[in-house]
Amino acid sequence: MTVKVGIVGYGTIGKRVTDAIMKMDDMTLIGVVKQTPDYEGEVAVSKGIKLYTYEDKLSKFEKVGIKVAGTVNDLLRSVDVIIDATPDGVGAENKAKLYEPAGLRAIFQGGEEAEVAETSFNALANYDMAIGKRFIRVVSCNTTALSRLISAFLLHGYKIRRVRAYLVRRGADPREFKKGPINDVVFNPATVPSHHGPDVQTVLPTIDIVTMAVAVPTTMMHLHMVNIEFDGQISRGEAIKVLEETPRILLFNASSKKFESLAQIIEWARDMGRLRGDLMENAVIEDSITVFQNELFLMQGVHQESIVVPENIDAVRAMFKLSDKWSSIKKTDTALGLVSAGKNYNLT
């Protein structure tokens, strides 16, 4: 069986998920919905991707000569599931207006409230909770990275007493030319806890976690400073081993390999030929890993534009019961070219 997938919202996340779907042999991309006739639509058509738009936008596409395969309703009639990657809040509107009336299944992104779906999702944390569900929400970039990190230790049998994380968020994505800050540090949000901690609890409900966040003038990555307190001892060597063998987590060494900044980590992804220079794994700074008795400290980089892409693919497999958790994670990682050497795809 291959699952027929449509994408609504072809921006930062939507275009990356589209490319990923096209790499999966158990999924077929039917097309994407765009509402603005622009260069991104033109590029999509040149790659053989079918564009669909709203009835009242058809003439705009025609006017600038961008070929459209049909209306949104045509797409909805042709797919098994929609992956909605529209801006925050639009997904919930689309659910009520489009997907529910059409009797369709849908996957939403982290900008939606958790209530939009039956379950919030992170593959390492709670794949099994999403099996067979009609509506799934893939949690945001920051929540995905924190959930993977925490899950790494849980999956290795460690008991976590509490997590405290300080998030330095990128101000905007590279394509967002109207956003900032350009010379500031913004309390973003100014509340404690920031929404990220409670969001982690949507996939790991029993974890005691508090987060704080600021936004700074970079478009490259987020940086997390994380403190995990365990019930019992852990050594630095044990922590490194856990992270080395957990899928979707990479260690970057500052002293031996000269990874001294996030820019160099992104440069590595570019040099490795990753599509768009994306880095879908958590980038843990190995030298930052420090243990005082039962407390672990570390820093990790989070490539906000791409980190949720593997999870969107696994969410489709869980929804349609295509494979079990570890088969799906392995299949996704292999097809997307993530580092799989040395990773354990059989953690329980």
Ligand X SMILES: NC(=O)c1ccc[n+]([C@@H]2O[C@H](COP(=O)([O-])OP(=O)(O)OC[C@H]3O[C@@H](n4cnc5c(N)ncnc54)[C@H](OP(=O)(O)O)[C@@H]3O)[C@@H](O)[C@H]2O)c1
- Strand ranges in 34-144 using DSSP code E only, listed in sequence order: 51-53, 70-71, 81-84, 105-108, 119-121, 135-138
Longest dimension (CA), the chain: 66
Residue 323 binding ligand X, by CB under 6 A = no
Contact partners, residue 19, CB within 8 Å, separation at least 6: 275
Shortest Å, Cβ 57 to ligand X: 9
Q: Would you call 141 a catalytic residue per the annotation?
A: yes
Neighbours of 322 (CB within 10 A): 19
Does residue number 281 form part of the binding site for ligand X (CB under 6 A)?
Answer: no
Binder of ligand X out of 34, 164, 224, 248 (CB under 6 A): 34
**Contact pattern from residue 154 through residue 173 relative to ligand X, giving x for each residue in contact according to CB under 6 A and a dash for the rest:** -------------------x
CB of 147 to ligand X, least distance (A): 13
Question: If we measure between CA atoms, which residue out of 281, 310, 307, 282 comes closest to residue 127?
Answer: 310
Pairing of strands 209-216, 160-170: parallel
113: contact with ligand X by CB under 6 A: no
**Site stretch for ligand X (CB under 6 A), options 43-51, 87-95, 205-213, 241-249:** 87-95
Query: Which among 130, 141, 165, 347 is annotated as catalytic?
Result: 141
145 belongs to the binding site for ligand X (CB under 6 A): no
Cis peptide before 181 (omega within 30 of 0): yes
Among 209, 302, 308, 347, binds ligand X (CB under 6 A): 308
> By CB under 6 A, is residue 152 in contact with ligand X?
no
- Of 44-52, 105-113, 187-195, 326-334, which segment contacts ligand X by CB under 6 A? 105-113
Alpha carbons 300 and 308: distance in angstroms, whole number: 16
Strand partners, 149: none
Should residue 13 be labelled a site residue for ligand X when binding is judged by CB under 6 A? yes
19 binds ligand X (CB under 6 A): no
| CB atoms inside a 10 Å sphere around CB 179 | 13
Which residue ranges make up the site for ligand X (CB under 6 A)?
A: 8-14, 33-36, 85-88, 90, 109-112, 140-141, 173, 304-305, 308
Which amino acids are annotated catalytic? 141
